[in-house]
Amino acid sequence: MIRNQSWCLLVVAIAIAACASPKVGFDYDSSANFSAYRTYEWMPGAQETTGDKRVDNSLVDSRIRAAVGSRLREKGYAASVNGKPDFYVAYHVAVKDRMKGSSTQQYVGDYAYGTYTTISDIHSYNEGDLLVDIVDAGTKRLVWRGSAQAEVDPGTTPEERDRRIGHVVDEMFRHFPPK
């Protein structure tokens, strides 16, 4: 019985670690009147390209737009129907190749003739950044920016990517509108 409980706790711990929250931040213009915002549109023009084929594609674009649109609708904002929104939404995305390392020292040998040896473990990973901007349509000024940073696993399924992007956007939009 205790063995089964230990196994279940291990599985839960691994699941929680796999879904670790992204690092989320936000900034805003304290003079902006967020209560006046009711409608939005995506920033006119083509989506900014990065030159990185991992993020410059219609699959990533549609996932981000769907997640952001869903969160905005949940918060009571509507897509503009007359072409005159209260604010525009834009996003910027990037993936960077990173390396993590750790090292430990071990004493090898007996007490008289031993020595310390250092064991290093270095592995590469991908780190994704997502910025979402809210721009006042009248003044064209940036009034809110949400940011998120998380490790990106290239081996995820499309469904997992949908959930992950949704989770990241959820965490980011907990801070919009600012209180």
Q: What is the pLDDT of residues 65-108, one digit of tens each?
A: 999 999 999 999 999 999 899 999 999 999 998 888 888 888 77
146 close to 173: Cβ distance less than 8 angstroms? yes
| 104 belongs to a structural domain | no
Residue 156: inside a domain: yes
Report the Cα 152 to chain-centroid distance in Å. Answer: 9
177 in Cβ contact with 37 (< 8 Å):
yes
Which of 96-100, 109-113, 162-166, 172-176 has the lowest average pLDDT? 109-113
In a domain, 9, yes or no: no
| pLDDT value of position 5 | 43
Domain range for 23 is 18-98+126-173
Asked whether residue 46 is domain-assigned, the answer is yes
Inside any domain, residue 92 = yes
Q: Is position 57 within any domain? A: yes
Q: How confident is the model at residue 34 (pLDDT cuts 50, 70, 90)?
A: very high
* Neighbouring residues of 134: CB distance < 8 A, sequence distance ≥ 6: 40, 87, 88, 89, 142, 143, 144, 145, 176
Residue 119 lies in a domain: no
Q: What is the pLDDT of residue 20?
A: 59
Rounded to 5, what percent of the chain is helix, strand, coil? 30, 35, 35
pLDDT at 3 over 60: no
* Amino acid 79: pLDDT: 96
Give residue 10's pLDDT band: very low, low, confident or very high (50, 70, 90): very low
User: Which residues are registered as beta bridge partners of 130?
Assistant: 93, 148
CATH number at residue 32: 3.30.160.670
Instruction: Give the confidence band of 140 by pLDDT, cuts at 50, 70, 90.
Output: very high
Residue that wins the pLDDT comparison between 140 and 7 = 140
Residues contacting 50, CB < 8 A, separation 6+: 56, 93, 94
pLDDT surpasses 50 at 17? no
In a domain, 103, yes or no: no
Domain count, the chain: 1
